[in-house]
Structure formats: C-alpha cells, structure tokens
Amino acid sequence: MRRSLFSSVLAGLALAAMTVVAAPAAAKSRIKDIVAVEGVRDNHLIGYGIVTGLNGTGDSLRNAPMTKQSMEALLERQGVNVRDANLNAKNSAAVMVTAKLPPFSATGSKIDVSVSAMGDAKSLQGGTLLVTALQGADGQTYAVAQGQVQTGAVSAGGASGSSISRGVPTAGRIAAGADVERETGFQMVAMSELRLSLRNPDFTTSRRIADAINSKFPGCAQAQNPTIVAIRSPAGMDMISFVTAIENLEVEPDGPAKVIIDEVNGVVVMGDDVRISQVAIAQGNLTISVQETPAVSQPAPFSQGRTTVVPQSAISIDEEKGKKLITLGGGASLKSLVGGLNALGVTPRDMITILQAVKAAGALQADIEVM
C-alpha cells in the first residue's frame, strides 16, 4: 500500500512538472501575412460613361445637362445630329466607373468594374454601360469597360408617391467588365533591392523579420525603421525567387498594448499585453422610472364643468445593490481584468466607461483607441 501511495505521489509530481514545462507556444506568423511588398499593390482606375437601356429610370435630361451633352456628342460620332432636338428621354444615365487594376495584370486580362449614377437617375437596373475608357492617376488609359450593369437591388414606386427599395439601385457592378489595355510596367524580377512594409509597424517585429531573413540568407536584410525592412537578393538569385524563399519564414509579431473601443456599437477589444496596476473598481446602476397614468376628472351633474384629463405620475428609484469593490493587483493580466469586470456584472458599454476611468487614474498600462 505504501508503495502504491509512493507511486501515486511520483506520478502526481511528474504530471505537475509536465504542466509547468508545457507552456503555450508563442503564436508565429508568416512574413507574407504581416508585410506588404513595395510596388505590389492595386492601382485605382476611374472613367466617365453612359448607361443606356433603362426603363424610364434614367436621368432627366433637363436636370442633368452633362447627360444631354454626352448623348449629343455620342450620337454625333455615330453620324446623328441631335443638337437642336428637344431630347427628353429618360432611358440613359451618366455614371462614374471605377476599378482596381491588380499588380502585374497582363494586357487582355479582365477586371471587375463598379458603376454609380451621377445625375437624378432612379435605378440602373437592366442598363448597359457603353464603351468607357478607364484612366489611372497619371492620366493614361489602362482599361476599357463595357457590359450590362448588375445592381442586385429592387426598387418600386406608386403614383401617389409611395416607394420601396431594397439595396442601392443607383450603383451596380459588372463582373469581368473591363479589358486591360496597358500594363503598369513594374519589373520586379530585374530589381536587386526591395522594401517590405509592415502592416502593423513595430520596432521589435521589424528586427525579428530582418533576423529571420538573415538567418537563412546572411546579410540580405536590414530593419530601417518600424515600418520598413530593406532586402537585397543574394548573388545568383533573382528578386522573385528571393521573395518566394523568404515569404514563408515564420516570425513572432509584437506590438504595443492597446485597447480598441467602439462606443457606437459597444465593442471592446483588448490585446493580451494589456496590464493593470493596483486598482479597485466598483460599479453600480441607478435607474429612475417615471410612469404616467392619465386619469379622467368628471364634473358633477349640472355644474357646467368640463371633463378633463388629469395626469398622475409615479416615480420609483432602483439602485442596484450588492456590488462590491473588485481589487486587481499590480501587473494584473488581461484574464484578471476581464474576470474582475465580469464579476461586477458590467455590460460592454459600462466596461468602456470603466476602462476610460482606469486609464485616467493611470492604472491601465495600454493605449486606448476610440473608434
């Protein structure tokens, strides 16, 4: 029996040792998930066009002069002169067309475009966008769009002025509606130096990325600041191959302790590095209810009085009791903070007020960002 007890004690000690040693591993991320490669980004395109084929829901040409002028210019290019005609059709609408040109898009590839009305059109449903050139910030045409607009919205109205709509019928989308006509000309393969931009700038993370790259390719990376890590491809390797080789290296991201507060929706997000100094917290709610019960005062017979409504008010005060001070020790973790606030039974909106008060008292070791 003693031997069995001794074995149980040893097993318990071994289990405790395993529990202490088996600490949770720090979360690591791939370099490609926490940085953006310089030059590898979308390019915004914009153009002005005309949507036709609308069922009387287009621009009123008297109120939208740009639509009338565009229609006249378009028809003149087709050999039709309508300058002196009294155009009043409502089957066309002036629109702005926008798109994103992905990096390394080749000539002839297709991209999606978004279409939105400029004038007083009621709906773009069922309309067709005519050929529209899309320019970049440099004024050059990079794509040409055309096709049927899909709004995904429903709109209806009656003669009395009543109407109902679901979604936004004056904005739509054309899937694969533009053809790329010009490439951006970014030649990454010929570059010998490149910069990686951290999505969440931090000195420690920047240093760790450089160290991870240099551990595999010595002397090829340098952390220049919290945002930029400069890399140089090793001899005999082009930049595409070099980026491919390093983007799957894992590093442990770091960052400052921060509390994000969305007061509109009552959302609180706290990082694991948030710490609380010695502080005591108490929270209570005071509810004042005012109830109005109207009563009718009836005059006596033949008194020539008037029947009146006399308001009767009932006021009650409910002060929440049973709440006690919750004390958090110095250096308390996020788990202790959340556990203490939950013990008080606070709502998310009350938690926002408490966190701001703790920060004002100098006990919250984190930045508060209010959205």
Asked if the structure places residue 80 within a domain, the reply is yes
Extract the tokens encoding 95.
């629109």
**What per-residue confidence (pLDDT) applies to 21?**
35
Of 269, 270, 311, 267, the residue nearest 292 (C-alpha): 311
Give every CB contact of residue 224 below 8 A, 6+ residues apart in sequence: 195, 206, 230
- Please check whether residues 101 and 228 belong to one and the same domain: no
> Looking at this protein, which amino acid is placed at residue 271?
G
- Please check whether residues 115 and 239 belong to one and the same domain: no
**What per-residue confidence (pLDDT) applies to 283?**
61
Q: Quick one: how far is CA 42 from the chain centroid?
A: 17
**What per-residue confidence (pLDDT) applies to 82?**
80
Q: Based on the structure, what is the number of domains in the chain?
A: 3
- Please check whether residues 146 and 67 belong to one and the same domain: yes
Asked if the structure places residue 22 within a domain, the reply is no
Asked if the structure places residue 279 within a domain, the reply is yes
**What per-residue confidence (pLDDT) applies to 323?**
54
- Please check whether residues 99 and 139 belong to one and the same domain: yes
Asked if the structure places residue 7 within a domain, the reply is no
Question: Any idea of the CA torsion for 82, 53, 65, 75, to the nearest 10 degrees?
Answer: -30
- Please check whether residues 104 and 131 belong to one and the same domain: yes
Mean pLDDT per 10-residue interval, the chain, length 371 residues: 40 37 61 92 95 92 86 88 78 95 93 95 93 95 96 70 77 95 87 93 95 95 96 92 94 88 80 76 57 70 72 59 56 66 72 80 81 77
Q: Where would I find the beta strands (DSSP E) of 293-362?
A: 295-297, 308-310, 313-319, 326-328
- Please check whether residues 196 and 172 belong to one and the same domain: no
The answer to whether the pTM exceeds 0.75 is no
Question: Any idea of the CA torsion for 26, 27, 30, 34, to the nearest 10 degrees?
Answer: -110
State which residues form the domain around 88. 43-151+166-180
CA distance 149 to 140: 25
Asked if the structure places residue 224 within a domain, the reply is yes
Q: How far apart are the first and last CA of the chain?
A: 65
**What per-residue confidence (pLDDT) applies to 86?**
75
Tracing tokens 């990376």 back to the chain, one arrives at: 221
- Please check whether residues 121 and 67 belong to one and the same domain: yes
Of 145, 95, 89, the residue nearest 125 (C-alpha): 95
Asked if the structure places residue 262 within a domain, the reply is yes
Extract the tokens encoding 253.
């991201």
**What per-residue confidence (pLDDT) applies to 232?**
95
* CB-based contact 59:49 (threshold 8 Å): no
Of 251, 272, 302, which residue is a domain's last? 251
- Please check whether residues 86 and 206 belong to one and the same domain: no
**What per-residue confidence (pLDDT) applies to 321?**
56
Q: Quick one: how far is CA 162 from the chain centroid?
A: 34
- Please check whether residues 57 and 99 belong to one and the same domain: yes
Asked if the structure places residue 232 within a domain, the reply is yes
- Please check whether residues 50 and 131 belong to one and the same domain: yes
- Please check whether residues 211 and 227 belong to one and the same domain: yes
* CB-based contact 26:173 (threshold 8 Å): no
- Please check whether residues 170 and 62 belong to one and the same domain: yes
Q: Provide the 10 A C-beta neighbour count for residue 206.
A: 24
**What per-residue confidence (pLDDT) applies to 261?**
83
* CB-based contact 153:168 (threshold 8 Å): yes
Asked if the structure places residue 170 within a domain, the reply is yes
